Structure 1
C-alpha cells in the first residue's frame, strides 16, 4: 500500500517537478558507484524510471523518463572530469559547466531514446521491466563506441562492493552484469501493484544471492598462484599535475622517480613500473635522459615507463604518441607501445578545423593513435597486454585476438588530473573488471594513485592509496587459461540480451 501511494504521488507530478525529481533521484543513485558503493541508493531510486514511463502519455515524457534520471546519474558520477579543466582554469575553466552537464546530457540521450523505444512498444507494466533492462544495456554498449566511446561507470560497476558478484564478468562481461543489475534494480517498481511479490523477490533478492554464491565458489576454486622469479616494484611519485610538465621541474621529477625506485629492497626487484608519462622526455631520441632512467633498472631487469614519443626531426609526417617503453639496464629501448584509444579534448580535439578549442594536455599538437591492441614481448617477463590510462575502461579491447594470449595486463595511468575525487576509484574498478573478464592478472601504476596489483579473479593483492607517495613491491600472479568471456567476447551478453528481450515479448500483455 505504501509503494502504491508513493507511485501515485510520483506519477501525479507533472512538467518541471517530475523532471527535477528524476534528476535528483539519478544524482542520489550515483552514490552506489565507487567509492561510496551505497547499493540501496540505486534500488530505492531506479523504480521511478519505470513509474515515469508508466505515466508517460507523450513521446517527450517517455524520452524524459530515461533522460532526466541518467543526466543526474552522470552529473554526479562524472563530476571529477571538471577537475582536469581546473588545472589551467584561465584557459579551460569556462568549459566546466559543459563538462559536467553537457557531457551528462549527451550520455543520457542514449537512455532517453531507450525509454522512448520501450514506450513505443506499447508493452504492459510487467514486460517493461525486461524491455527496459534490455534497452538500457544496449544503450551502454552504444555509448562504448559511438563518437569514440565513453563506457565509464556501466551499471554493473556498482557491484565493485562484492568481489563474488563481480565474478559473473568472467562469463557475461560487464554488459551481462549490467543487464542483470538493471533487472534487479527495476523489479521493485512492480511492488506498487498486487501479485508481483514473488517475481520481484526472485530478481531483487534471489538473483544477487545466486550470483554471490556462484562467485564465492569460483574464488575458492582459483587460489592465488605466482609467476616464479618475478618481483614488481610500482612507483607512485604523486607528482602534482601542475608541476608535471614545467620545464624547470622535469628533470627533478625524473630524479624523484629514480630515488624512490632505488629505495630499500631495490636489489631484490626484477621489474620496475612507472606511471603514464612519468618521464616527460622523448626517451627514444634523448639518450642522456634515457641513461638517467636506466639507473632505475634492476640488474638484468626492465624499467617499464610511460613517456611521450615523437618522430625524429625532419621526418614527415610529424607525429607524437603517448607511449609505454621498456628500458634495459644498458639504456636501450626493448619494446614500445603507443596508446590506441585517445581521450577526446584531452589528447586530441575532434573536428579541430571547426571547434576553436585547444586540447588540455601539454603542447598544442594532437597525439596520434598507435596500432592495437597488441601483445607486448618483454625480456624476462611474460608477454603483456599494455593499456595506457582510460584504455582500461573498454571491454574486449584488452587482448589482441590475432596474437598469442598475454600473461598479464600492464596498465599505466596518470589520474593526477582528477585530484582526490571519485574518478581514480572508478578507474580502478574498471581495471579490475578487465582482469576478471580476461582471466589475466594486472599491474597498475598510477602517478597519484590508485596503483595496484590484481590477480586474474580480481583480488587486489597490493595497492597504494589515492594521493599517497611511495612504492609497492609485489609478486606477479599467474593468469588463468582463459574465461568464457575471453573466448567468446560479447556473444554471451548478446545471448542474454536476446533472452531478456524475448521475455519482454512473452510478457507483453501483463500489467
Structure 2
C-alpha cells in the first residue's frame, strides 16, 4: 500500500489531474442508482494520496477541483438532456449544462482540499487527524453547495446509503449531511496505510473502528426497522397516475387535449381485481396544461372523475393579471373536489435557476428552459395544506424535495409529504433514480411518509422508514393504488434540523485535536 500511495502522490501535471478526475468519477458509482458504496474506500484515499504530492495551494485546489469535476460530470450528465427537448433553441447551452455546472460545483471540492492543505501545514495535521479534518471540510463544502446561490444539494455522499435502509435510518438523527460526514471519514481511513509515519497497526485499527461504526449504525437501523408493523391511515387509498408523456409532446397544442384525456381515463379506471377503490388521486407536476382557475370546463372534467368525497391533486400553472396588465405565473399544485372546485392551492417557492427563472435576467436576456420569456414567480414557502379526507400534508414541487430540513412548515408539522414532479426532461437516465432516492432520504429524516407522482417516473409511496410500498418504473405508463402510511413521531432531525450537523462537527473537531496530540 505504501508503494501504491507513493506512486499516486508522485503524479504531477496533467497526470495528477486526470487521476483526480478518475477518482471523482469512481466515487459517483457509490450514489444511486449504482449504490456501489465500497468504491469510496478507494476514491477518497486516492484523493488524499494525490494531495500528499500537492506542494502548493494552487495544486491542492486544482487536485480537488478535478476530483469534483469528474464526480459531477459523471453524476449529473443527464441535466443536459433537458436541452434536447428544444435543441434548435438551446443547442448553444449544451456545453454549459454538460460541463459548466460540474465545473462550478467542483469549486466547492477545490475549496475543501485547499482548506485541508492549509490546515495540515499550519496545524501539522497528519495521520488520522488529517483524515478527520478532510471529512469535516468535505461536509462543510457539501453544506455550502446546498445553500449558496439558492443551493444545489444533489448527490450528497450520504445518499450512497439509500440502497441500505438499516444504515439510512441514521439520518433521522444526524441528517444526510451528518451521514455523509461519517461516510467520508470512514471511507478515507485506508489512506493511512499510505502514510509512512503511520504504523500499520494503528492504520488497521482506524479502518476497523470505522467499519465497526458503520456496522453498529446498521444494526441499530435494523432494530428500528424490525420494530415497526407498517401501519397505514385507515380509510385512505391514494391513486398515483403516471401518464408517461414525453416532454416534446407535453406542451404541444395538438396534443394537450389528448394528454388531458389520458389523465382522466387513467383516473377513472377500475382498481385492480379485489383492490379497494381509491379515495384520492395524485397527478404529476404541471399535469394539467391549462390554467385551472380560469377554465371551468377543465375543472368540471376533473371533478367528474374525482372519487366520491375525495379529490384530485394535480400540478398546473397558475396565472394572475396585475393592475398594470402584466401577467405573473406560478408553478402550482391544486386540489380539485368532485364539484370541480379548487379547494386548496400551493405555489412552488424554491424555483430552478435557468429552468424556471433566469438569474440576472437584465444581464442575461435569454429564455429560461421551462418558463420561457416570462419567469415563474416564487411562492411564500413550505406550507401545510388541508384537503378533505386527508391528513394535513406538505406539498413539494419537483426539486423542492432535495433540500434537507426545508420540506415542511416548522410551525405546523404535516403528517405526510407529497412530491409531484416532471422528470420527463431527463429521459431514461440516472437523474430520476437519484431524484427518487433523495425523496426516500427526506422521508426518513422527517419520519414522514412520502407520496410521489412523476410524469414519466419514478412514482411511488415511501413510509417514514424509507421503505417502498408502491412503485411505478421509470418510462412506464400506469396507475398504482396504495394505502397511506402513518406518520412516525417527530425525529430528532425533524426537530432541530442541521443543528445535529453542528454537534457532529464539534465532536469531529475535538477528535481531530485528540488525534493530533496522540503520538
TM-based fold match above 0.5: yes
* Corresponding residue of 1:260: 266
Q: Say whether residues 1:206 and 2:215 are aligned partners.
A: no
Return the alpha-carbon distance in structure 2 between the equivalents of residues 509 and 484 of structure 1: 33
* Corresponding residue of 2:21: 23
Q: 1:377: how far off?
A: 1.0
Q: Say whether residues 1:360 and 2:360 are aligned partners.
A: no
Q: 1:299: how far off?
A: 1.0
Name which of structure 1's ranges 191-200 and 48-57 shifts more when overlaid on structure 2: 191-200
In structure 2, list runs of 5 or more residues that go unmatched. none
- 1:245-283 CA-partner distances (Å, limit 9, x unpaired): 011111111100000111122981100000000001000
Return the alpha-carbon distance in structure 2 between the equivalents of residues 151 and 227 of structure 1: 32
Return the alpha-carbon distance in structure 1 between the equivalents of residues 507 and 159 of structure 2: 22
* Corresponding residue of 2:228: 222
Task: Report SS of the residue matched to 1:410.
Answer: strand
Residues 384, 413 of structure 2: 8 Å contact kept: yes
Residues 49, 194 of structure 2: 8 Å contact kept: no
* Corresponding residue of 1:243: 249
Return the alpha-carbon distance in structure 2 between the equivalents of residues 247 and 510 of structure 1: 70
- 1:157-184 CA-partner distances (Å, limit 9, x unpaired): 1112201100000000101101001111
Return the alpha-carbon distance in structure 2 between the equivalents of residues 20 and 191 of structure 1: 23
Return the alpha-carbon distance in structure 2 between the equivalents of residues 314 and 371 of structure 1: 21
* Corresponding residue of 2:144: 142
* Corresponding residue of 1:493: 501
Match of 2:282 among 269, 273, 278: 273
Task: Report SS of the residue matched to 1:385.
Answer: strand
TM-score where L is the length of structure 2: 0.95
TM-score where L is the length of structure 1: 0.97
Q: 1:220: how far off?
A: 1.1
* Corresponding residue of 1:125: 127
Q: Say whether residues 1:348 and 2:357 are aligned partners.
A: yes
Return the alpha-carbon distance in structure 2 between the equivalents of residues 488 and 362 of structure 1: 35
Return the alpha-carbon distance in structure 2 between the equivalents of residues 203 and 161 of structure 1: 23
Residues 237, 447 of structure 1: 8 Å contact kept: yes
Return the alpha-carbon distance in structure 1 between the equivalents of residues 340 and 130 of structure 2: 61
How big is the alpha-carbon RMSD for the aligned residues of Structure 1 and Structure 2? 1.5
- Number of aligned residue pairs: give it: 508
Counterparts of 1:19-418 in structure 2 under 5 Å?
19-121=17-119, 122=121, 123-193=125-195, 194-195=199-200, 196-265=202-271, 268-312=277-321, 318-402=327-411, 404-418=412-426
In structure 1, list runs of 5 or more residues that go unmatched. none
Q: 1:52: how far off?
A: 1.8
Name which of structure 1's ranges 312-321 and 497-506 shifts more when overlaid on structure 2: 312-321
Return the alpha-carbon distance in structure 2 between the equivalents of residues 246 and 293 of structure 1: 21
Task: Report SS of the residue matched to 2:85.
Answer: coil
Residues 254, 293 of structure 1: 8 Å contact kept: no
